[in-house]
Amino acid sequence: MRTTPFTTEHDALRASIRRFVEDELAPHAREWEEDGWIADWVWPRMGELGLLGLSVPEEYGGQGGDYWSTVVLAEELTRCGSGSLPMAIGVQTDMATPPILQFGTEQQKQDYLVPAMQGTKIASIGISEPDAGSDVRAIRTRARPDGDGWVLNGSKTYITNGVRADFVTMVVRTADADPGDPWGGISLFLIETDLPGFEVAAKLDKVGMRASDTALLHLEDVPVPGDALLGTVHEGFKQIMWQLQGERLIGAIGGVAGAWRTWESALAYTREREAFGRPISGFQVTRHTLVDLATEIEAAQALVYEACDAWNRGEYDVERVAMCKLVAAQLAFKVADTSMQLHGGYGYSREFDVERNWRDSRLARIGGGADEVQREIISKLMGL
Ligand SMILES: Cc1cc2nc3c(=O)[nH]c(=O)nc-3n(C[C@H](O)[C@H](O)[C@H](O)COP(=O)(O)OP(=O)(O)OC[C@H]3O[C@@H](n4cnc5c(N)ncnc54)[C@H](O)[C@@H]3O)c2cc1C
């Protein structure tokens, strides 16, 4: 018999999330795509249902579950018909807030983590800048000490949830780059977005993930209190590298689950659509295409679940996580592209979700560390 990491509790959780996604989220997916905006009520509603902190301890507003509960949520959210929604929620739950739980003070947990789990504060993660994406050490946003606090100047770009965020978990340079300590001089901060000098300079227009708001942020002489520092001063590079493991893993889980959803709808379409007097699923080439994809998805899922199992035990292997991110990102887009091909002209039409899925799934090969960055990590760790 096939083993599964999911218990009957996880199965019940999955069933209730599926109902919520089908009843409350999926009916709005198209409208949010047209509006370029996910409705604001989604965050507090998911907070009320306890879905924003499934693996977070109860004392900080979470449900105290294990990592497999988070996996269930990430998988089920792919059923909502929009790539933007799982991404926006993933930023809240698995990218911007885990560093608060991991490195934050008790006060920071109460002030930021608890409301983020309730959905009353929206969180963003601010790493990328106009002149520094893959190369995190090249960031220029700078904090200079000022009395008990700091003054920040700089900009961050492509920040998911950035137009609506209440705070940004931000990577900031706090000392000049030092050749003797190449990883030092960077720190994490929790930056409130209503501080003077903080500006959402633009809501960026994008090929896909159109329902998700993506911001260019400017900071000009933003006064930040001393207790906005998250974790240890100058140790932010190591802290954000830890954060990126969780970000990449949740992205990989969503990528594999999304690939399955796409594969299922492609199969259904090929059984309905007829050409030359038979369903196109009747052509051997179609069946073999679907079989090859299903085999690749199964293999990717096994790799990702192995990494999830380690994460659930509080362990992680950077090389494995990078492999998960790389394979899932590529596969999600490959399946979406093949699905478009199997749908023929209808795949290219705005009438079907196929084109939206194709546009949305392309991002994973760029965001959160591009394919090439994952390959660099893997090759270094393999000693190539
Ligand atoms: C829709 C969207 C949402 C995003 N959300 C967020 C967010 O919420 N927070 C955030 O901080 N960032 C976010 N990003 C930014 C994203 O993480 C970066 O775009 C990504 O890390 C790549 O950085 P870059 O765009 O500067 O590309 P660059 O770093 O300029 O890379 C350009 C190309 O060069 C390649 N390259 C770079 N270095 C190497 C190398 N050493 N070897 C080989 N090839 C290399 C890259 O792989 C890529 O193909 C988002 C981006 C998008 C598009």
φ, ψ dihedrals at 210, nearest 5°: -70, -25
Model confidence pLDDT, tens digit, residues 54-94: 999 999 999 999 999 999 999 999 999 999 999 999 999 99
Contacts with 336 (C-beta within 8 Å, 6 or more apart), sequence order: 259, 262, 354, 357, 358, 360, 361, 362
The verdict on residue 222 lying in a domain is yes
d(CA 78, CA 255): 9
Contacts with 296 (C-beta within 8 Å, 6 or more apart), sequence order: 331, 334
Distance of CA 17 to the CA centre of its chain: 18
190 C-alpha to ligand 1 centroid (Å): 22
Model confidence pLDDT, tens digit, residues 287-303: 999 999 999 999 999 99
375 C-alpha to ligand 1 centroid (Å): 14
Q: Which of 89, 134, 244 to mutate to test the pocket of ligand 1 (most atoms within 8 A of CB)?
A: 134
SS3 351: coil
Q: Are residues 224 and 163 in the same domain?
A: yes
pLDDT tens, N- to C-terminus, the chain (384 residues)? 668 999 999 999 999 999 999 999 999 999 999 999 999 999 999 999 999 999 999 999 999 999 999 999 999 999 999 999 999 999 999 999 999 999 999 999 999 999 999 999 999 999 999 999 999 999 999 999 999 999 999 999 999 999 999 999 999 999 998 888 888 999 999 999 999 999 999 999 999 999 999 999 999 999 999 999 999 999 999 999 999 999 999 999 999 999 999 999 999 999 999 999 999 999 999 999 999 999 999 999 999 999 999 999 999 999 999 999 999 999 999 999 999 999 999 999 999 999 999 999 999 999 999 999 999 999 999 999
User: How far are the Cα atoms of 214, 215, 251 from residue 205, in angstroms, in the given order?
Assistant: 8, 9, 22
Q: Find the DSSP H helices in 273-351.
A: 284-312, 318-348
Q: Are residues 47 and 149 in the same domain?
A: no
**Which atom of ligand 1 is found nearest the CA of 129?**
26
φ, ψ dihedrals at 205, nearest 5°: -90, 140
Q: Are residues 242 and 376 in the same domain?
A: yes
Structural domain that includes position 207 = 124-234
Contacts with 317 (C-beta within 8 Å, 6 or more apart), sequence order: 307, 310
Q: Are residues 170 and 81 in the same domain?
A: no
The verdict on residue 2 lying in a domain is no
The verdict on residue 49 lying in a domain is yes
Q: Specify the pairing of strand 123-126 against strand 229-230.
A: unpaired
Model confidence pLDDT, tens digit, residues 234-248: 999 999 999 999 999
Q: Indicate the helix (H) or strand (E) that contains 68.
A: helix 67-77
The residue whose CA is least distant from atom 38 of ligand 1 is 134
